[in-house]
Structure 1
Amino acid sequence: MKAIKYIFLLLCMMLASCTGNWQRWVDASDDEVKIIRYDEVMDDFVSLNSYSALQRLNTEFSLQTSMLIENVLAIGDVQDPGIDRKLRAFYQDSIVQSLYAEVRRQYGDLEPEEEQLTEVFAALKKADTSFVVPCIYAQVCALNESIVISDSVIGVGLDKYLGADFPLYKDYYYSYQRRSMERDQIVPDILFYYLGDLYGAHTSRTLLQRMVTAGKIHWIISHLLKKPLYEEMNFTGERRAWCISHEKQVWNWLKENDMLQTTDWARIREFMDPREYTVFFGTGSSDQLGLWLGGQIVDSYMKHHKKAQWQELLHLHPDTIYQNSGYNP
């Protein structure tokens, strides 16, 4: 019983800490989103060996520091003796320092992203009164996770958004991976992973369900950001042209080969993840064909239900969307 009480007390303390951060990160009116520059606090600790910065990392940003050490960088446990020295040594690495230098150069402020998120979150709160505006912070993740989420706390790795032509990227990533490593992908990525976590990722098991869920989230984001769906899903140029001309062929192939109901993770990734091409359709084919089709299914649903509002999509199960979409390429 004492152990249970201790755990409950610890959870309450963690929640209070997060709530405290929340108040500092969001404008007093609760309308204006502010992205905390955790990366700058870390930079002070690493570059200046600042004790006050270290204190902030371990108290004010204890959740973020724990996630960074244990989950993103995976360099140990936050309670390990000497973990502070290990963390500082990690960030003093020459490659990580070159990433930090470029982040400083490109990201003097995050006002464009804050303005976009403020507008989008206001629309989401209006559409769904239970929607929780997340706490968002920036970090340098050493080319690990672009976006990390813990409940309503989101970390953004700015060093994963330095531009597709950033020289260092060419040593570590293929061209199909680099195409999404642009600054204008920060807001869409935040929205995709957060909305996906809130509205449906847990209900998707089959390839078809994952296709429709991803399509639903992208359709909503395209509406909120006032962008064409294909552009929001990052299908441009040859990829878009290939998908348009082969859509019927791909859809029929998936049905004929019983792929739509597969739960095989390798097969699902073949159709959902970025890659050079889709192996089942050969060199020159587009990748992420499941994502493309999912977007078209949701778009078809909305066209067949002209009185439906985008807000209704938030809570719709992917099976319901597909069965009532009238999709037939």
Structure 2
Amino acid sequence: MKRFIIISLTICLSLFSCQSNDTHKNKLKVDYEKSEPKEVIIKNYADALFSIDTADFSVGLKKIQKEFPTFLDGNLNDPKAVEYLKAFATDTFCIRVNDIAQQIFPDTKKLNKEIKSVCQHFKYYYPNIDIPNTAYLYISGIDYEMPAIMILDDGIVISMDFYLGNDNRIYDYIGMPRFRSLRCQPDYISRDLAQSFYSTFIDKTNHQKDVMSEMINAGKRLYFIEAMNPSLPDSILMGYSSKQMQWAQLYESDVWASVVGNNMLYSNEVEVFRTLFGDGPFTQAFSNEAPSRLGEFIGLQIIRSYMNNNDISLKDLMNNNDLQQIFQKSQYKPK
């Protein structure tokens, strides 16, 4: 395996603190509250489904079908369809997950406010794009094949079982890696909702051929998420623990020096991509304390620098596919 020559990281993390440059956030302070939607409706499909009397399950499904067409648009006169839903609603694991979810989300006032804020920020920047004002809460059974949040024509669909708290033992039970369950916190819902808006309406990127392009595209995505959530902490934006975030901020210039010094910036080698963009508990090529996806972190800093140094709107940034130009005009020089 090829080994990278990593610039020495000798400064002790415990001796220094690093404050990120937040001047870019001035551009993100917008009068979003005048935008639609004025109201967001949250409907708890999971609670309705798991509350059905199993002795007369088919009748119970038909009673809630009109309220939850996103989930129950099929033929409920089909015995196989009813049996499938009943098997799910009576599965002991799914029942346990739903019980935990209802405890985590006893009411939806805070969640409603967060969803509304992200939606209004999106409509501020993209007033001509129609988005739903109804959000549905459901249980997926912690299905890795399904996104945690989806934006459909008739509603925003949120899988509550991906936000049960990173210390919940249910994630250990199913064998979810700790670096992944770190992001299974309610505080991540607004971030993931913005991510879903990006992937649904904004993202038009193709597979990138080199590290620089991948960095810029990742930075654009993260900056968009931040624009939808200006008060979002960097640790949640990046999906890092507080210590990992501190490491990334402290050693940003060292990581950048390694990327440039080891000729990685325009590399298209699989191993280099894995080192800089692969998800995991850490980036061993730098340090066991270094978080993963450092290429994305650097990409975000490049975009922040670009937005600080140029009179560019968010829409202009998203529409600009000249990634080399963005990189050059960013004047990115970490200290």
TM (normalized to structure 2)?
Answer: 0.73
Matches within 5 A, 1:1-329: 30-45=37-52, 49-55=56-62, 61-65=68-72, 82-134=80-132, 135-144=134-143, 145-149=146-150, 151-152=152-153, 153-171=155-173, 172-203=175-206, 205-206=208-209, 207-227=211-231, 230-231=234-235, 232-255=237-260, 256-258=262-264, 260=266, 262=268, 264=270, 268=273, 270-305=275-310, 307-317=311-321, 319=323, 320-329=325-334
Q: Quote how far apart the aligned CAs of 1:186 are.
A: 0.9
Instruction: Describe the shift of the 1:269–1:157 C-alpha distance in structure 2 as closer, same or farther (beyond 3 A).
Output: farther
Q: Quote how far apart the aligned CAs of 1:286 are.
A: 1.6
- Letter paired with 2:220: K
Kept in 2, the 8 Å contact 1:116–1:187? The answer is yes
Give the aligned CA root-mean-square deviation in angstroms. 3.3
Deviation track 1:21-44 (CA, whole Å, cap 9, x = no partner) reads: xxxxxxxx8521222222123223
Instruction: Describe the shift of the 1:109–1:318 C-alpha distance in structure 2 as closer, same or farther (beyond 3 A).
Output: farther
Deviation track 1:222-268 (CA, whole Å, cap 9, x = no partner) reads: 3443326623324453212322343234334444344655385x864
CA distance in 2, matches of 1:322, 1:35: 41
Look up the SS of the partner of 2:296 in the other structure: helix
Q: Quote how far apart the aligned CAs of 1:312 are.
A: 3.6
Name the count of aligned residue pairs: 290
Q: Quote how far apart the aligned CAs of 1:270 are.
A: 4.9
Structure 2 gap ranges (5+): 1-35
Deviation track 1:45-78 (CA, whole Å, cap 9, x = no partner) reads: 4756443442266665454357xx9xxxxxxx99
Structure number with greater CO (CA < 8 Å, separation at least 6) is 2
- Letter paired with 2:224: I
Kept in 2, the 8 Å contact 1:209–1:318? The answer is no
Instruction: Describe the shift of the 1:150–1:113 C-alpha distance in structure 2 as closer, same or farther (beyond 3 A).
Output: closer
Q: Quote how far apart the aligned CAs of 1:318 are.
A: 6.5
Report the counterpart of residue 18 of structure 1 in structure 2: none
Structure 1 gap ranges (5+): 1-28, 70-76
Kept in 2, the 8 Å contact 1:301–1:325? The answer is yes
Deviation track 1:105-153 (CA, whole Å, cap 9, x = no partner) reads: 2212222122222233223223222222235311101111352436544
CA distance in 1, matches of 2:130, 2:139: 25
Q: Quote how far apart the aligned CAs of 1:180 are.
A: 0.9
CA distance in 1, matches of 2:49, 2:223: 36
TM (normalized to structure 1)?
Answer: 0.74
